[in-house]
Structure 1
Amino acid sequence: MRSILSILSFIFSLLGLSNIISLANRGVITEMLTFDTAGGSFIFLFNLYGVLAFVCAVLAKKDRYRILLLAGSVILIAATLTLSFVGMYGFQQP
């Protein structure tokens, strides 16, 4: 069971990373992964993959890959939260 959580953590990390990469390229993948939503639900779904990757990495089997999964998911969460903060407060209409 715990090895499945390692695989899930890796998959969620890839999905979250593809969200960030897709934003630089017209956002086609981001629209698919966030179900073409807007507003608060987009911010929630955009950050969801990083959080799920972190939770699965914490509960995964304790081996050397767990540390890499934890570090990657923490970096992913920091990146998505930074982009969410910039999106919410940096692009407001005056």
Structure 2
Amino acid sequence: MKPWRDSTDGERTDVANGVAACPTHDAAFDAGLMTLELADDHLTVTMSHRLRAAAYRVPETARYFTGEGLRREIVLEPPTVAPSEKYLRWHRERIFTPMHAPSG
């Protein structure tokens, strides 16, 4: 969530500063095309307007970002360590930029 280059030594080793993802979803997250929001027992995936438009137009993109290709909610079952809200917020404010965010 908060990239290695921007993190302190403590943040780099904080297990709450990361989530496991496949390379495709990890790259989209790092590029600001999607982000996560923490709820009580799950994470909600939010795609940018740009990514949703691409998934609508491009079948290859749709394969990874619609239907079975991307869960919209990720249940956090014990012993899962939930990502910290401070890192998620950092990502939403600095990586998931307004130009990528849904309009409206």
Q: By percentage of residues, which structure has more strand?
A: 2
Shorter-chain TM-score range: under 0.3
In the superposition, the TM-score normalised over structure 1's length comes to: 0.28
In the superposition, the TM-score normalised over structure 2's length comes to: 0.26
Q: By percentage of residues, which structure has more helix?
A: 1
